Amino acid sequence: MKRMLPAVVLLALLVPASTALGDGCPAPCSGQSASPPGTKLLFVQPEGPAGQLVAYDTKLGQPVFALPAGRASADGLRHVSAYKRPSRRTTVLGYYAVPTGRLLRAFATPGLWSLAAVSPTGVWAALSHRQGAYTHVALVDLVGRKRLGTIRLRGHFEVETISAEGSRLFLIQHLDERRYLVRLYDFAAKRLASEPLRGGDDRLMAGYAWSGIGSRDGRWLLTLYLDTRRSHAFVHALDLVKTEPRCIDLPSARGFANLRQYSLTLAPRGRRVLAANPALGVVAEVDLARHRVVRRARFTPAAGGEAAARRGRASLLAAVSRNGRTLYFSNGRLLWAYDAAYGVVRGPYATGREVVGLGYGKGDRKLHVVRRDGVMLTFDAATGRQTSR
Protein backbone atom coordinates (compact mmCIF):
# COMPACT_ATOMS: atom_id res chain seq x y z
CA MET A 1 0.00 0.00 0.00
CA LYS A 2 1.44 3.35 -0.96
CA ARG A 3 2.56 5.81 1.69
CA MET A 4 1.86 9.50 1.14
CA LEU A 5 4.52 11.95 2.25
CA PRO A 6 3.84 15.46 3.52
CA ALA A 7 3.68 18.02 0.73
CA VAL A 8 6.49 20.09 2.24
CA VAL A 9 8.84 17.08 2.26
CA LEU A 10 7.99 16.20 -1.34
CA LEU A 11 8.63 19.74 -2.52
CA ALA A 12 12.02 19.75 -0.87
CA LEU A 13 12.97 16.37 -2.34
CA LEU A 14 11.82 16.95 -5.89
CA VAL A 15 13.01 20.54 -6.35
CA PRO A 16 10.04 21.47 -8.53
CA ALA A 17 10.11 24.32 -11.02
CA SER A 18 8.62 27.68 -10.34
CA THR A 19 5.69 28.92 -12.40
CA ALA A 20 6.99 29.43 -15.94
CA LEU A 21 5.97 30.36 -19.44
CA GLY A 22 2.90 28.70 -20.83
CA ASP A 23 4.19 27.19 -24.06
CA GLY A 24 7.16 25.14 -25.08
CA CYS A 25 8.44 22.56 -27.50
CA PRO A 26 8.51 18.79 -27.08
CA ALA A 27 11.21 17.64 -24.69
CA PRO A 28 13.91 17.69 -25.51
CA CYS A 29 13.90 20.09 -28.47
CA SER A 30 17.22 18.57 -29.42
CA GLY A 31 15.45 15.25 -29.92
CA GLN A 32 13.28 14.10 -32.80
CA SER A 33 10.85 17.03 -32.86
CA ALA A 34 11.22 20.65 -33.87
CA SER A 35 9.67 23.43 -31.84
CA PRO A 36 5.98 24.26 -32.54
CA PRO A 37 4.93 27.66 -33.91
CA GLY A 38 5.24 30.52 -31.44
CA THR A 39 7.43 28.63 -28.99
CA LYS A 40 9.24 30.59 -26.31
CA LEU A 41 11.05 27.71 -24.63
CA LEU A 42 13.86 25.39 -25.64
CA PHE A 43 14.21 22.25 -23.53
CA VAL A 44 17.68 20.81 -22.98
CA GLN A 45 18.98 17.77 -21.10
CA PRO A 46 22.71 18.52 -20.72
CA GLU A 47 23.52 15.11 -19.23
CA GLY A 48 21.42 13.07 -21.65
CA PRO A 49 17.87 11.68 -21.84
CA ALA A 50 17.75 10.58 -18.18
CA GLY A 51 19.24 13.78 -16.78
CA GLN A 52 17.97 17.12 -15.55
CA LEU A 53 15.62 18.98 -17.91
CA VAL A 54 16.37 22.71 -18.31
CA ALA A 55 14.02 25.15 -20.07
CA TYR A 56 15.55 28.17 -21.82
CA ASP A 57 13.70 31.30 -22.87
CA THR A 58 14.75 31.69 -26.52
CA LYS A 59 14.21 35.46 -26.50
CA LEU A 60 16.30 36.10 -23.37
CA GLY A 61 18.74 33.25 -23.93
CA GLN A 62 18.48 32.33 -20.26
CA PRO A 63 17.18 29.29 -18.31
CA VAL A 64 13.80 29.90 -16.67
CA PHE A 65 13.28 26.62 -14.83
CA ALA A 66 14.76 23.16 -14.36
CA LEU A 67 13.25 19.77 -13.56
CA PRO A 68 15.11 17.03 -11.68
CA ALA A 69 16.79 14.14 -13.47
CA GLY A 70 14.26 11.83 -15.05
CA ARG A 71 12.62 10.75 -18.28
CA ALA A 72 10.23 12.58 -20.59
CA SER A 73 7.30 10.92 -22.37
CA ALA A 74 7.67 10.51 -26.14
CA ASP A 75 4.96 13.10 -26.78
CA GLY A 76 7.07 15.64 -24.88
CA LEU A 77 4.30 16.68 -22.48
CA ARG A 78 5.25 14.92 -19.25
CA HIS A 79 8.45 14.44 -17.27
CA VAL A 80 8.91 11.82 -14.54
CA SER A 81 11.56 11.70 -11.84
CA ALA A 82 12.36 9.08 -9.19
CA TYR A 83 14.11 9.74 -5.88
CA LYS A 84 15.18 6.91 -3.55
CA ARG A 85 14.75 7.36 0.20
CA PRO A 86 16.80 4.52 1.80
CA SER A 87 15.87 5.52 5.36
CA ARG A 88 12.19 4.90 4.63
CA ARG A 89 12.69 2.16 2.01
CA THR A 90 10.54 4.12 -0.45
CA THR A 91 10.92 5.79 -3.82
CA VAL A 92 9.34 9.19 -4.43
CA LEU A 93 7.97 9.81 -7.93
CA GLY A 94 7.48 13.28 -9.37
CA TYR A 95 5.13 13.90 -12.30
CA TYR A 96 5.59 17.19 -14.17
CA ALA A 97 3.97 19.13 -17.02
CA VAL A 98 6.87 19.87 -19.36
CA PRO A 99 5.56 23.06 -21.06
CA THR A 100 5.16 24.85 -17.71
CA GLY A 101 7.44 22.92 -15.37
CA ARG A 102 4.56 22.51 -12.92
CA LEU A 103 4.60 19.59 -10.48
CA LEU A 104 1.32 17.75 -11.13
CA ARG A 105 1.67 14.91 -8.66
CA ALA A 106 4.16 13.54 -6.16
CA PHE A 107 3.82 10.30 -4.26
CA ALA A 108 5.87 7.52 -2.71
CA THR A 109 5.85 3.82 -3.50
CA PRO A 110 7.41 1.09 -1.29
CA GLY A 111 10.87 -0.16 -2.22
CA LEU A 112 14.04 1.33 -3.68
CA TRP A 113 13.51 1.54 -7.42
CA SER A 114 15.11 3.05 -10.51
CA LEU A 115 12.97 4.71 -13.18
CA ALA A 116 13.24 2.40 -16.20
CA ALA A 117 10.70 3.72 -18.74
CA VAL A 118 7.75 6.06 -19.27
CA SER A 119 4.82 5.32 -21.60
CA PRO A 120 4.48 7.47 -24.78
CA THR A 121 1.82 9.75 -23.26
CA GLY A 122 3.30 9.76 -19.78
CA VAL A 123 0.44 7.94 -18.05
CA TRP A 124 2.44 4.92 -16.85
CA ALA A 125 5.98 4.34 -15.64
CA ALA A 126 8.04 1.20 -15.18
CA LEU A 127 10.35 0.89 -12.19
CA SER A 128 13.03 -1.78 -11.85
CA HIS A 129 15.80 -3.15 -9.68
CA ARG A 130 18.11 -6.19 -9.74
CA GLN A 131 18.34 -8.57 -6.81
CA GLY A 132 20.59 -11.57 -7.13
CA ALA A 133 19.60 -13.66 -10.14
CA TYR A 134 16.28 -11.84 -10.56
CA THR A 135 15.00 -8.62 -12.09
CA HIS A 136 12.02 -6.96 -10.42
CA VAL A 137 9.76 -4.64 -12.42
CA ALA A 138 6.82 -2.56 -11.16
CA LEU A 139 4.18 -0.84 -13.31
CA VAL A 140 2.87 2.44 -11.87
CA ASP A 141 -0.19 4.51 -12.80
CA LEU A 142 1.18 8.05 -12.56
CA VAL A 143 -2.20 9.72 -12.91
CA GLY A 144 -3.90 7.51 -10.31
CA ARG A 145 -0.79 7.49 -8.08
CA LYS A 146 -0.81 3.75 -7.55
CA ARG A 147 1.19 0.64 -8.35
CA LEU A 148 -0.61 -1.70 -10.73
CA GLY A 149 1.55 -4.73 -10.23
CA THR A 150 5.03 -6.12 -9.69
CA ILE A 151 6.75 -8.97 -11.51
CA ARG A 152 9.87 -11.02 -10.85
CA LEU A 153 11.85 -12.41 -13.76
CA ARG A 154 14.81 -14.75 -13.53
CA GLY A 155 17.75 -13.28 -15.41
CA HIS A 156 19.03 -9.86 -16.47
CA PHE A 157 16.13 -7.91 -17.99
CA GLU A 158 15.96 -4.27 -19.01
CA VAL A 159 12.71 -2.38 -19.70
CA GLU A 160 12.77 -0.86 -23.17
CA THR A 161 9.36 0.80 -23.10
CA ILE A 162 5.68 0.49 -22.20
CA SER A 163 2.91 0.20 -24.79
CA ALA A 164 0.65 3.21 -25.28
CA GLU A 165 -2.27 1.56 -23.49
CA GLY A 166 -0.05 0.46 -20.58
CA SER A 167 -0.80 -3.26 -20.73
CA ARG A 168 2.44 -4.55 -22.25
CA LEU A 169 6.08 -4.24 -21.33
CA PHE A 170 8.80 -4.58 -23.94
CA LEU A 171 11.92 -6.02 -22.34
CA ILE A 172 15.50 -6.71 -23.33
CA GLN A 173 16.78 -10.00 -21.94
CA HIS A 174 20.58 -9.88 -21.82
CA LEU A 175 22.07 -13.29 -22.50
CA ASP A 176 25.65 -12.06 -22.07
CA GLU A 177 27.61 -8.85 -22.66
CA ARG A 178 26.77 -8.79 -26.38
CA ARG A 179 23.73 -10.93 -27.15
CA TYR A 180 20.16 -10.13 -26.25
CA LEU A 181 16.54 -11.08 -26.90
CA VAL A 182 13.45 -8.87 -27.12
CA ARG A 183 10.71 -10.16 -24.84
CA LEU A 184 7.09 -9.18 -24.26
CA TYR A 185 5.34 -9.23 -20.89
CA ASP A 186 1.53 -9.00 -20.86
CA PHE A 187 0.35 -7.40 -17.61
CA ALA A 188 -3.29 -8.29 -18.28
CA ALA A 189 -2.45 -11.98 -18.68
CA LYS A 190 0.35 -11.74 -16.10
CA ARG A 191 2.79 -13.72 -18.17
CA LEU A 192 6.00 -13.46 -20.14
CA ALA A 193 5.59 -14.56 -23.75
CA SER A 194 7.28 -17.93 -24.17
CA GLU A 195 9.04 -16.97 -27.41
CA PRO A 196 11.16 -13.86 -27.95
CA LEU A 197 10.10 -11.29 -30.53
CA ARG A 198 12.07 -11.68 -33.74
CA GLY A 199 12.39 -9.64 -36.90
CA GLY A 200 12.05 -10.84 -40.46
CA ASP A 201 15.68 -11.97 -40.73
CA ASP A 202 15.41 -13.96 -37.47
CA ARG A 203 18.94 -12.99 -36.51
CA LEU A 204 20.18 -13.32 -32.93
CA MET A 205 20.57 -9.71 -31.88
CA ALA A 206 23.97 -8.65 -30.59
CA GLY A 207 25.37 -5.31 -29.58
CA TYR A 208 25.49 -2.54 -27.01
CA ALA A 209 22.56 -0.11 -26.70
CA TRP A 210 24.02 3.37 -27.09
CA SER A 211 21.09 5.79 -27.53
CA GLY A 212 17.44 5.78 -28.55
CA ILE A 213 14.29 7.74 -29.34
CA GLY A 214 10.57 7.01 -29.30
CA SER A 215 7.94 8.24 -31.72
CA ARG A 216 5.39 10.70 -30.37
CA ASP A 217 2.46 8.48 -31.36
CA GLY A 218 3.85 5.48 -29.46
CA ARG A 219 4.38 3.40 -32.60
CA TRP A 220 8.17 3.08 -32.63
CA LEU A 221 11.08 2.72 -30.27
CA LEU A 222 14.34 3.20 -32.14
CA THR A 223 17.64 2.28 -30.51
CA LEU A 224 21.16 2.68 -31.83
CA TYR A 225 23.09 -0.53 -31.19
CA LEU A 226 26.85 -0.90 -31.58
CA ASP A 227 28.48 -4.27 -32.12
CA THR A 228 31.97 -3.68 -30.76
CA ARG A 229 33.45 -6.91 -32.09
CA ARG A 230 32.49 -6.27 -35.70
CA SER A 231 32.73 -2.43 -35.55
CA HIS A 232 29.17 -2.36 -36.76
CA ALA A 233 26.21 -0.03 -36.06
CA PHE A 234 22.53 -0.75 -36.57
CA VAL A 235 19.11 0.61 -35.64
CA HIS A 236 16.98 -1.70 -33.52
CA ALA A 237 13.50 -0.63 -34.71
CA LEU A 238 10.79 -1.97 -32.42
CA ASP A 239 7.24 -1.68 -33.78
CA LEU A 240 5.16 -1.41 -30.61
CA VAL A 241 1.89 -1.99 -32.47
CA LYS A 242 2.87 -5.09 -34.44
CA THR A 243 5.20 -6.21 -31.61
CA GLU A 244 7.91 -6.77 -34.18
CA PRO A 245 11.62 -5.84 -33.89
CA ARG A 246 13.91 -5.25 -36.85
CA CYS A 247 17.65 -4.68 -37.10
CA ILE A 248 18.54 -2.16 -39.81
CA ASP A 249 22.23 -1.90 -40.70
CA LEU A 250 23.86 1.55 -40.85
CA PRO A 251 27.01 2.58 -42.76
CA SER A 252 29.84 1.39 -40.52
CA ALA A 253 33.62 1.75 -40.49
CA ARG A 254 36.61 3.05 -38.55
CA GLY A 255 35.95 1.56 -35.13
CA PHE A 256 33.78 1.96 -32.06
CA ALA A 257 34.91 5.52 -31.20
CA ASN A 258 33.50 6.76 -34.50
CA LEU A 259 30.37 4.59 -34.59
CA ARG A 260 29.15 6.00 -31.29
CA GLN A 261 28.93 9.47 -32.84
CA TYR A 262 25.68 8.50 -34.60
CA SER A 263 22.57 10.50 -33.72
CA LEU A 264 19.06 9.24 -34.55
CA THR A 265 16.23 11.62 -35.49
CA LEU A 266 12.72 10.63 -36.50
CA ALA A 267 11.33 12.54 -39.50
CA PRO A 268 8.10 14.51 -38.77
CA ARG A 269 5.77 11.99 -40.44
CA GLY A 270 7.34 9.12 -38.57
CA ARG A 271 8.18 7.08 -41.66
CA ARG A 272 11.92 7.63 -41.81
CA VAL A 273 14.85 7.87 -39.41
CA LEU A 274 17.76 10.21 -40.13
CA ALA A 275 21.05 8.76 -38.84
CA ALA A 276 23.90 11.30 -38.93
CA ASN A 277 27.53 10.60 -38.09
CA PRO A 278 30.12 13.43 -38.42
CA ALA A 279 33.06 11.09 -37.71
CA LEU A 280 32.11 8.85 -40.64
CA GLY A 281 30.95 11.74 -42.82
CA VAL A 282 27.54 10.26 -43.59
CA VAL A 283 23.82 10.89 -43.18
CA ALA A 284 21.68 7.81 -43.80
CA GLU A 285 17.93 7.86 -44.35
CA VAL A 286 16.23 4.73 -43.00
CA ASP A 287 12.82 3.70 -44.36
CA LEU A 288 10.94 2.06 -41.48
CA ALA A 289 8.43 0.34 -43.77
CA ARG A 290 11.14 -1.26 -45.89
CA HIS A 291 13.52 -1.81 -42.97
CA ARG A 292 16.61 -0.54 -44.75
CA VAL A 293 18.75 2.48 -45.59
CA VAL A 294 17.34 4.05 -48.76
CA ARG A 295 19.63 7.07 -49.12
CA ARG A 296 23.14 8.14 -48.12
CA ALA A 297 24.74 11.57 -48.20
CA ARG A 298 28.51 11.77 -47.87
CA PHE A 299 30.60 14.69 -46.63
CA THR A 300 34.12 15.24 -45.31
CA PRO A 301 34.50 13.38 -41.98
CA ALA A 302 35.33 15.56 -38.99
CA ALA A 303 37.98 14.93 -36.36
CA GLY A 304 36.99 15.24 -32.70
CA GLY A 305 33.71 14.45 -31.00
CA GLU A 306 35.08 11.53 -28.99
CA ALA A 307 34.92 13.46 -25.70
CA ALA A 308 31.28 14.33 -26.22
CA ALA A 309 30.46 10.71 -27.02
CA ARG A 310 32.27 9.45 -23.91
CA ARG A 311 30.31 11.85 -21.70
CA GLY A 312 27.10 9.97 -22.36
CA ARG A 313 25.67 10.98 -25.75
CA ALA A 314 24.43 14.36 -24.46
CA SER A 315 26.37 16.35 -27.04
CA LEU A 316 25.62 14.23 -30.11
CA LEU A 317 22.41 16.02 -30.94
CA ALA A 318 20.16 16.65 -33.91
CA ALA A 319 16.94 18.54 -34.70
CA VAL A 320 14.77 18.37 -37.82
CA SER A 321 12.52 21.10 -39.22
CA ARG A 322 8.75 20.59 -39.12
CA ASN A 323 8.58 20.01 -42.87
CA GLY A 324 11.39 17.46 -42.67
CA ARG A 325 13.50 19.43 -45.15
CA THR A 326 16.53 20.24 -42.99
CA LEU A 327 18.33 18.30 -40.27
CA TYR A 328 20.89 20.06 -38.09
CA PHE A 329 23.29 17.81 -36.18
CA SER A 330 26.42 18.18 -34.04
CA ASN A 331 29.53 16.29 -32.98
CA GLY A 332 29.81 18.33 -29.79
CA ARG A 333 31.33 21.57 -31.06
CA LEU A 334 30.47 21.85 -34.75
CA LEU A 335 27.13 21.94 -36.59
CA TRP A 336 26.15 20.57 -39.99
CA ALA A 337 22.91 20.92 -41.96
CA TYR A 338 21.51 18.09 -44.10
CA ASP A 339 19.19 19.18 -46.92
CA ALA A 340 16.85 16.21 -47.42
CA ALA A 341 15.44 17.59 -50.67
CA TYR A 342 18.81 17.51 -52.44
CA GLY A 343 20.64 14.97 -50.29
CA VAL A 344 23.56 17.30 -49.50
CA VAL A 345 25.29 18.37 -46.28
CA ARG A 346 26.34 21.97 -45.52
CA GLY A 347 28.86 23.10 -42.92
CA PRO A 348 30.53 22.75 -40.54
CA TYR A 349 29.53 25.79 -38.47
CA ALA A 350 31.48 26.60 -35.30
CA THR A 351 29.88 27.05 -31.87
CA GLY A 352 33.03 27.71 -29.80
CA ARG A 353 32.17 25.33 -26.96
CA GLU A 354 30.51 21.98 -26.33
CA VAL A 355 26.86 21.82 -27.45
CA VAL A 356 24.26 20.31 -25.09
CA GLY A 357 21.01 21.29 -26.84
CA LEU A 358 19.61 22.60 -30.09
CA GLY A 359 16.21 23.23 -31.62
CA TYR A 360 14.37 25.27 -34.20
CA GLY A 361 12.62 28.53 -33.35
CA LYS A 362 9.45 30.09 -34.71
CA GLY A 363 8.77 29.20 -38.33
CA ASP A 364 11.97 27.14 -38.51
CA ARG A 365 13.82 30.29 -39.53
CA LYS A 366 16.25 30.18 -36.63
CA LEU A 367 18.20 27.46 -34.91
CA HIS A 368 18.92 27.93 -31.19
CA VAL A 369 21.98 26.23 -29.72
CA VAL A 370 22.77 25.88 -26.01
CA ARG A 371 26.37 25.31 -24.97
CA ARG A 372 27.52 23.55 -21.82
CA ASP A 373 28.63 26.91 -20.36
CA GLY A 374 24.97 28.03 -20.50
CA VAL A 375 25.39 30.42 -23.42
CA MET A 376 22.68 30.31 -26.08
CA LEU A 377 23.64 31.00 -29.71
CA THR A 378 21.21 31.62 -32.58
CA PHE A 379 21.86 30.75 -36.22
CA ASP A 380 20.02 31.52 -39.42
CA ALA A 381 18.65 28.06 -40.26
CA ALA A 382 18.83 28.69 -44.02
CA THR A 383 22.47 29.81 -44.15
CA GLY A 384 24.09 28.55 -40.94
CA ARG A 385 25.34 32.07 -40.10
CA GLN A 386 25.22 33.19 -36.48
CA THR A 387 22.64 35.91 -35.93
CA SER A 388 20.80 37.73 -33.16
CA ARG A 389 17.85 36.22 -31.36
pLDDT for residue 139? 95
Q: What is the pTM of this model?
A: 0.84
pLDDT above 70: residue 32: no
**For residue range 313-337, what is the model confidence (pLDDT) as tens digits?**
544 689 998 888 999 999 988 999 9
pLDDT for residue 204? 56
pLDDT for residue 343? 94
Q: What are phi and psi of 363, to 5 degrees?
A: 70, 10
CATH topology (fold) of 204-317+332-345: Methylamine Dehydrogenase; Chain H (2.130.10)
**For residue range 47-81, what is the model confidence (pLDDT) as tens digits?**
877 889 999 988 889 999 999 999 988 888 899 99
State the pLDDT confidence band at 23, using cuts at 50, 70 and 90: very low
Span 268-294, mean pLDDT?
93
**For residue range 109-167, what is the model confidence (pLDDT) as tens digits?**
999 999 999 998 899 999 999 999 999 999 999 999 999 999 999 999 999 889 888 88
**In this predicted structure, which of 150-164, 240-254, 273-287 has the lowest mean pLDDT?**
240-254
